[in-house]
Amino acid sequence: MKITYPHMGYSYIAFKMLINDLGYEPVVPPEPSKRTIDLGARYAPEFACIPYKVLLGTYLETIEMGAEMAISSGGVGPCRAGYYGVMHQKILNELGYDFKVFILEPPQSNYLDFIKKLKVLKPSVMSWRTFIQLIKKGYSKLEAIDEMEFLMYRFMPYEISKGDTARAFKIALDMLDQAQTEDEIEDARWECRKVMAKVPQDRSRDPLKIGIIGEIYVVLEPAVNFYIQKTLGEMGVYTDRSIWLTSYAQKNVVVEGKVGERDIHEMAHPYLNEMIGGHGINSIGEIVIYAKGGYDGVIQLAPFSCIPEIMAKGIVPRVSREEGIPVMTIFIDEQTAAAGVLTRLEAFLDLLQRRREQKTVKERLA
């Protein structure tokens, strides 16, 4: 059977391997393009959030490529992502496609259901042990990919000749893509680190530091967020983002070892005292964390009409004022133009630069 899955950053490499290992034929989803988004927007409800539209577009594109089934994650709400699967299925059926959207609900919601569903994916001739090993292997690849991406954004602002880091990252991705066994992945990971570390850097620079927060999908998918981290990196800005697919990179966020959900909620107090679904409360908590971590500013990425992020945006001015950190919100939908985003980014960087200069002047006077 030909199986596809949502495109999320560079994770497609790991999922491709996993599906292949399980004995299915992976249909690698194309990176979301104008066409993907247009396709999705045409058939999706007008006010569906952009992740929904991109996913629908991806399914339509992969159907053209022969995919018969998609595996996606569910989410337990209280947000719309948890209902994506049902709605995608209904809309694709209405369009007359015989395509199955298979939703893996996260195990917290219902363990039995999770295992039952996993069983469908497990080929009957395969033992559970092999199955679990394969999943673990997939995860370690995912982790390696996350690590390289993480390193790329760390190094970019210091690179001496523009584009070096991005090139190194590409090489690293290819190496990881080639690695097939557990050992190979581990070796490749070491090699990749070396490749990344070889990029010549000028560590004397003191770049602006920006934290990137917001809704998971638009934060994770560069093709939808206008490659914001790369763009900023090329402009010589150090960025850190709060959300990663694997916990490897997640753990490294801002202050080491202090990013448990509990802490985020504590940080969000007193600005927001309730889980509001999606990444709403995280967004608030993370602004506080970035402010305390000495960052110059924060950029909030939010799908247009995204419920939790709109709530967060409403609360942001207060957080920003009281924590003393500028925050810019970028809403993304199918009409957002790259040029507009770029202008706003430049203006924001100007503002941060000026603030920094004022601060140094003040410090010198004091």
Partner 1 sequence: MPVRVGIPRFLGYFSYYPWWKTFFEELGLEVVTSPPTNQQILNAGVAEAVNDACIPIKLYHGHVMEIKDQVDILFVPRLVKVRKFGTETFCPKFLGLPDLLQASINNLPEMLDTRVDLTRGCFELFRISRELGERFGASLSKITRAYLHACQALQGYRGLMSRGMFADDALECMEKGYKASQQKEQGSLSIAVLGYPYLVYDNFINMDIVKRLKTLGARALTVEMVSPRQLLREAKNMPKQMFWHYSNRAMHAAYYYLNRKRVDGIIHVTAFACGPDAMLDRLMEIESRRLGRMPFLTLSIDEETGTGGVETRLEAFIDMLKRRRVLE
- Cα 310 from Cα 331, distance rounded (Å): 9
Closest C-alpha among 239, 150, 243, 240 to residue 189: 150
Phi, psi of 325 (to 5 degrees): -135, 130
According to CB under 6 A, which residues from 54 to 93 bind ligand SF4?
79-81
**Binding at 317: pick from ligand SF4, partner 1, none (beta carbon under 5-8 Å per type):** partner 1
x/- map, 267-286, partner 1, by CB under 8 A: ----xxxxxxxx-x------
Least separation in angstroms between residue 225's CB and partner 1 is: 18
Contact status: 278 vs ligand SF4 (CB under 6 A): yes
| Helix 12-21 with 164-178: angle, nearest 10 deg | 10
User: Least distance to partner 1 from the beta carbon of 230, Å?
Assistant: 27
> Which residues of 153-288 form beta strands (DSSP E)?
209-214, 238-241
**120 interacts with partner 1 by CB under 8 A:** no
- Among the listed residues 22, 49, 145, 245, the single contact to ligand SF4 using CB under 6 A: 49
Contacted by 51, from ligand SF4, partner 1, none: CB < 5 to 8 Å by type: ligand SF4
Beta bridge partners of 103: 72
> Contacts by 182-191 with C-beta closer than 8 Å and gap 24+?
182/133, 182/137, 182/140, 185/137, 185/140, 185/141, 185/144, 186/140, 188/144, 189/144, 189/147
Q: Please choose which of ligand SF4, partner 1, none residue 211 contacts, taking the beta carbon within 5 to 8 angstroms, the exact cut-off set by kind.
A: none
Q: How far is CA 255 from the centre of its chain?
A: 20
DSSP, res 156: G
Under the criterion CB under 8 A, does residue 107 sit at the interface with partner 1? no
Q: Where does residue 135 rank: exposed (0-12), middle (13-18), buried (19+ CB within 10 A)?
A: middle
- Identify which range of 22-30, 54-62, 185-193, 300-308 contacts partner 1 by CB under 8 A: 300-308
Stretch that binds partner 1, among 174-182, 220-228, 246-254, 308-316 (CB under 8 A): 308-316
Residue 51 interacts with ligand SF4 (CB under 6 A): yes or no: yes
Q: Give me the amino acid identity at 341.
A: V
Count Cβ atoms below 10 Å from residue 225 Cβ, excluding itself: 26
Pick what 226 binds: ligand SF4, partner 1, none; C-beta below 5 to 8 Å, kind-dependent: none
How many residues bind ligand SF4 (CB under 6 A)? The answer is 12
45 touching partner 1, by CB under 8 A: yes
Q: In whole angstroms, how close is the CB of 232 to ligand SF4 at the nearest point?
A: 22
Residue from 52, 90, 92, 91 nearest 72 by CA? 52
- Sole window of 6-14, 208-216, 221-229, 307-315 interacting with partner 1 (rule: CB under 8 A): 307-315
Matching residue, tokens 């998971």 = 216
Strand 297-303 versus strand 238-241 pairing type: unpaired
The residue from 307, 315, 328, 332 that contacts ligand SF4 (CB under 6 A) is 307
91 binds partner 1, rule: CB under 8 A? yes
85's contact among ligand SF4, partner 1, none, with CB below 5 to 8 A by partner kind, is partner 1
Which of 130, 231, 305, 336 is the binder for partner 1 (CB under 8 A)?
305
The alpha helices in 179-215, defined as continuous H runs, are 182-197
Q: What is the largest CA-CA distance in the chain?
A: 75
Binding segment (CB under 6 A) for ligand SF4, from list 4-12, 108-116, 263-271, 307-315? 307-315
List of residues contacting partner 1 (CB under 8 A): 45-49, 52, 76-80, 82-83, 85-87, 90-91, 94, 109, 271-278, 280, 304-308, 310-311, 313-319, 331
List of residues contacting ligand SF4 (CB under 6 A): 49, 51, 79-81, 215, 278, 303, 306-309
